[in-house]
Structure 1
C-alpha cells in the first residue's frame, strides 16, 4: 500500500510534467543516508530519494543547488524534476539514468569532462552558500588561498566534532595543528576551480553515450586536486582516466604525496559518521607531517 508521501510525490511528478501516469515503486541503492527508489510508469522512470527534515532542515535544496552548479559549469547531471517537503519528510525526484559498462572510451570521456569542469575558475576559494558532505554541514566561507579555506572550512570543523565526541585525542589534534602550518608550502598555488567535492565511484553514472553523469555533489570553488584525490580513496578509477586527465590538464609533481592530505577531510567525515575504523588511516597520514 502506498504511503501518503508516495502519493504526494506521484502527484507532484504528474503536475510538474503534465502527466497522468500510474507508477510502481522499487527500493534501490542510494547511499547509507537516504531512502532511494526507482519509480516507473509505462513511459519513463525516475530516481527518488527521501529523508526527514531532522537530517536536512532545508530539504534537498543544497543538493539541487550543487547539481545546478555542475550543470552551469558544463557537466552532465540527471534532469531535476521536483524537490520538496511533505509534513516532516523531504524528497528529490530526478530522471532515471541507466548505468552502462565503463569502457576505456568512457574513462577517457569522463577525464575530459572532469578537466572541463575544473577549467571553470573563480576569484576566491569557496561558494556563496553552504552545503553538505554526506549529512554533515560543510562551510564554504570565501578565502583567497586554498590552505586557509581547507583548514578553516574543512579540517578544523571535522577535527572539532571528532574531538568533542572522543574520537580524536589531544595528541592527534596537535598533529593536525602542526600540519596546518605546513600546508602553505605543500599545496601548489592554483586558481580556484569548480569541483564536484565528493568524487568517488558511487557518485557518477556511466551513461549509454560513454560519458559520465555526475550525482551527489558537495561543490565549491576549490583545489582541483581534491577531486582527483577523492577518486583514489576507495580503490580508484581506471588508469585510463588518470592518464587522460594528466594529458588534458597535468597535475603538479608530488600529487601522490598531497592526495593523502586532501583525503583527510573525507576520512574525518567517515570517522564522524561511521566510527573508529577510519582512525588508523587518519593517524597514519597526519603523523607523516
Structure 2
C-alpha cells in the first residue's frame, strides 16, 4: 500500500491514506482517501512499463461506448497506475440486480455483432497475454487463441501428458459439431463475480475486462462456472428470456470454460483441481 500511495502522489492525487481492497488476484488495489475526504479506487503493479492498465482502460471504454454497459470512470491511467471512481459492493442477494445485469449483457451481445473474431490489440488475462489476433472463423479463433494457446505454457505442459493434450486437440477439431454457429460480438472476456460491482445507484458496473469479439456464450460460461451467489440464477433465466440461446447451452458452459481453467493452471493457481476439471471435459475426445 505504501507503493500505491507513492504512485498516487506522483500522479497528482493528494492521497492521505489507502485501505486494502480485496477481490483482485494480480494488482495491488486499494481505496484511497484524499485530503478533502473524497475517495478513489486505485491499483498498481510492483513492476512498471507494462501496457496492462492502458489495455484495461481501453476495454472499459469499449464496454461503455460500444456495448452500452456501465463501467467506472477512469480518472487516471499510467504504465503503473490505474485510478477509477469508487465502487459499491454487488447486491448479491437481490434478484433485481441480476436481472439488470442480464439486460446489460443481452444488450451488449445483440448490438455489437461484428464480422470477425478478435480485437485490434492483444489484451491481458491475469498476468499473461491474451492473444486477440483477428480470425474470420470462430471455431479456429476459439481453438487457437483460447484453448491451444495455453498448451505451450510451462505449467500447463507439466500438468498434462501427451494423451491429455491430444484429447484437447481432438476437442478443438470437433468444435463445429459442438457449438452452433454464432456471430462475433463484443465480450467482457473475464466475467466472474469479482469483476462485477455496483455503482452508487445500485446498477451493475463491469470491471477489469479482457475484451474481444467472441461468442456470447463464452462470456456466460465464465459467470456460470465460477463461484457465484444463488440469486445469480436469475441472471441466466432473465438473459435467456431476453435473448434465447440455442438448445444445449447449459452443456456447452464447461466447454467454453476451458480457457479459464487452462489460464489458472498457467498462472500457477491450480490448487483446487483445475487440471482434473480439464481432463474431465476433454475425456470424451481422448480416442476420437
Task: Report the TM-score, using the length of structure 1 for normalisation.
Answer: 0.89
**Among residues 98, 103, 111, which one is paired with 1:112 in the alignment?**
103
Contact 1:123–1:191 at 8 Å: present in 2 too? Answer: yes
Change (3 A) 1:79 1:163: closer
Task: Choose from 30, 35, 43 the match for 1:37.
Answer: 30
Deviations 1:198-231 (A, max 9, x none): 1111111033433210001111000000111110
Q: How does 1:89-104 map to 2 (within 5 A)?
A: 90-102=80-92, 103-104=94-95
Equivalent residue, structure 2, for 1:18: none
The one of 160, 165, 174 aligned to 2:166: 174
Supply the distance in 1 between the matched residues of 2:188 and 2:90 (Cα, whole angstroms).
21
The residue number in structure 2 matching 1:10 is 9
How many residues are treated as equivalent by the alignment?
A: 277
Cα deviation digits, residues 240-260 of structure 1 (max 9, x gap)? 111110011111001122111
1:1-289 matches, cutoff 5 A: 6-14=5-13, 21-41=14-34, 42-53=36-47, 57-72=50-65, 73-85=67-79, 90-102=80-92, 103-119=94-110, 120-161=112-153, 165-236=157-228, 238-273=232-267, 274-275=269-270, 277-289=273-285
Name stretches of at least 5 consecutive residues in structure 1 with no aligned partner.
15-20
Partners of 2:68 and 2:192 lie apart in 1 by: 19
Query: What TM-score comes out, normalization by structure 2 length?
Result: 0.90
CA distance in 2, matches of 1:158, 1:81: 34
Q: Deviations over 1:54-102 (max 9, x none)?
A: 6x722411111111111112101111011114xxxx1111111122523
Q: Give the whole-Å Cα distance in 1 for the aligned partners of 2:165 and 2:155.
A: 8
Alpha-carbon spacing, 1:181–1:149, altered in 2? closer, same or farther (3 Å): same
Q: Deviations over 1:76-134 (max 9, x none)?
A: 1111011114xxxx111111112252312111111000111112111101111100111
Conserved 8 A contact 1:53-1:59: no
- The 1:148/1:112 distance shift into structure 2, 3 A limit, reads same
Deviations 1:137-186 (A, max 9, x none): 11111111211000111111112215764121111111011111110121
Give the alignment's Cα RMSD to 1 decimal: 2.0
